[in-house]
Amino acid sequence: MGHPNVFIQFIYKKVFKMAKLTKVEPKDIDFLKELNDGSVVFTKYATIIVPDKYFEKNIAEFIGSSVSIFGLITINVYDTEIDDDDNLDKAPFSEFFFKFKSMILMQPSNIIETRNKDGEKEWKLVFNKGSAFIKNKNIVIDSTVASKMLDIVMLGYFPNVIPYEEIAKYWTDVNNFNGVGLSAMGQKIIEMIISELCRDPQNQARAFRHKLRDDPKTDKTKYKMINIRLLPKYNSFFSSLTSGDPRGNLISIIGRSRNGESQRESPVEQAIL
């Protein structure tokens, strides 16, 4: 159950960071304007891309012509006037990263179904000047948001904009903000999940923490958060065969065996062998 009577004031000038994590000063956020009715609107043309799976997993939701979405968003702000949505792909833009601990409700002027380079369905939210980025600054504190954060991590949707060592803190902040406190053991579990799902993009069989260990100068945002269903094929041959995608993982097993790659025995294997 949520807590519909508990609100916080959303202060947009304190939560923006650019895609490369250089802090954006309030004077640089010239594409948003706060109105007297409590909304925050765009003063420039902007777009937000949302994977269709966000809607499947309730990380985002269509509410009439509005969109409710968890507060990890990349915003493309266009530097020139856009006279037609078809010209979006040709126009220059600046990229901003929005990081917040709860859901926000947006009112785009147009919603376009599209596909990414891998053929996966996405939704392009288009915002004209005056479109509401946030319809109301009063944000509901809701314990169900914690489960959405869990889905973002488990499904591999977590953006690699936040440095590796800050992920656990952000996750904990989301839980605490929404009234979900964790024990010390719960905090350790969060850290373990992150350490396993963050992989080396050049070699996803290798955990990112090992890359950092071997090369401390590695950029801490250069990780790849994978779907938890992919994890068994990197850890245990037995676990791969009993996972949600045994056929795909079997191919991986054959390749790893031919290459002489080692595996980590699962607890089940240790118990029955």
φ, ψ (nearest 5 deg) of residue 16: -90, 140
Write out pLDDT tens, residues 97-151.
888 888 889 999 999 999 988 899 999 999 999 999 988 777 777 888 888 999 9
Query: How do 203-207 and 198-200 pair as beta strands?
Result: antiparallel
Angstrom distances, CA of residue 93 to CA of 8, 72, 80, 96, 111:
31, 19, 8, 10, 19
Taking the alpha carbons of 108, 178, 17, 162 in that order, is the dihedral positive or negative?
A: negative
- pLDDT for residue 4: 30
- pLDDT for residue 84: 63
Secondary structure class of 170 (helix, strand, coil): helix
- pLDDT for residue 60: 95
What does the pLDDT average to over 48-54?
93
Q: Check residues 236 and 258 and name the one with the higher pLDDT.
A: 236
Secondary structure class of 114 (helix, strand, coil): strand
- pLDDT for residue 247: 47
Write out pLDDT tens, residues 199-235.
999 998 899 999 999 999 999 989 999 988 887 777 6
Q: Which amino acid is it at 78?
A: Y
Band (69; pLDDT cuts 50, 70, 90)? very high
* Tally of CA atoms within 13 A in the half-sphere of 4 that contains its CB: 1
Secondary structure class of 68 (helix, strand, coil): strand
Residue 26 has pLDDT above 90, yes or no: no
Write out pLDDT tens, residues 148-197.
999 999 888 888 888 899 999 999 988 988 888 777 778 888 898 899 89
pTM score: 0.74
Strand partners, 76: 47, 95
Strand partners, 106: 67
- pLDDT for residue 70: 92
- pLDDT for residue 83: 63
Q: Which amino acid is it at 205?
A: A
> Which residues have CB under 8 Å from 2's CB, separation 6+?
140, 141, 142, 143, 144
- pLDDT for residue 212: 95
Question: Is 91:98 a contact under the CB 8 Å cutoff?
Answer: no
Band (85; pLDDT cuts 50, 70, 90)? low
* Per-residue exposure over 128-158, b if at least 16 CB sit within 10 Å of its own CB, e if not: eeebbbbbebebbbbeebbebbebbbbbbbb
Tell me the residue length of the chain.
273
- pLDDT for residue 124: 93
> Which residues have CB under 8 Å from 1's CB, separation 6+?
143, 144
> What distance in Å separates the CA atoms of residue 166 and residue 161, rounded to the nearest whole number?
10
Domain boundaries of the chain, sorted by first residue = 3-141, 145-272
- pLDDT for residue 234: 73
Q: Check residues 131 and 9 and name the one with the higher pLDDT.
A: 131
Q: How many other CB atoms are there within 10 angstroms of residue 263's CB atom? A: 18
